[in-house]
Homo-oligomer: A and B are copies of this chain.
């Protein structure tokens, strides 16, 4: 298939949508981006790469980082991890305290904020046992699976998050009160916000996610990151819980496991074949990239690659 033509077609078709939606503005560092940016990248399991538009424009990956940290936690704890975080869709907004209180501090899944905070906490404990720093290890993993040593955090975004992150701090303290955080709340929150502030572009993201398109191993180098069952778990979680309150709609429209971030990025995995990343910062009312969601829908429609 001629993916470059597909990407070019998509770029043409989404033009009228640029300008719709609303860039995340809960912190100044995110509000400053160009709302009309659009980039899209495809990396095949064979190593072929196709990019269009601002596919090399770096952006804050935000919640997409949850896929990487969950991968590391699953590798470190295996089934034990599920004692502390569930695997089911939440049905509540991504930052709800209600469910967390009702279910005694056990978050529904690792992709809602509370779940990702627990995952961070588990990594801090794990890496401390190995005299190692969690943020460094997450970066190390992302650099390894994207084959790009330049990837790093954005200090501005991090300090903005710290300044306005009251709800996440509330979630963390609530879980601490239920004994579901092992480490100091402040350290956990800092680690979580650092992870969210990681900056990548579409090319790097599509390359990095390739291990989820090949049963846990990098299809190009053959290096195994996680096992097949773990990759399947991550993909199924991305399908059922990857897009906040619009996960069901994404499953229908796009029909691929995927994860979005409030920074405007979305990645999607086509098992056995490739990974796709898209960036466009204006969000729809569910908090997912408006143009990004549409672009991925066009992609599966044009290529027939939906899993349904």
Contact = CB atoms under 8 A, between A and B. Distances in A.
Contact of A241 (B98, B171, B248): B248
A67 B59 CA distance: 41
A102 B252 CA distance: 25
Number of chain copies forming the complex? 4
Interface in A21-36: none
B87 A252 contact: yes
A240 B251 contact: yes
Contacts of A92: 91
A166 B247 CA distance: 32
18 contacts: A88-B89, A88-B248, A89-B89, A89-B240, A91-B92, A97-B101, A97-B170, A166-B173, A169-B170, A169-B185, A170-B173, A170-B174, A231-B308, A236-B251, A236-B255, A239-B239, A240-B240, A271-B307
Interface of A: 86-92, 96-99, 101-102, 108-109, 166-167, 169-174, 176-177, 185, 231-233, 235-237, 239-241, 245-249, 251-252, 255, 257, 271, 306-308
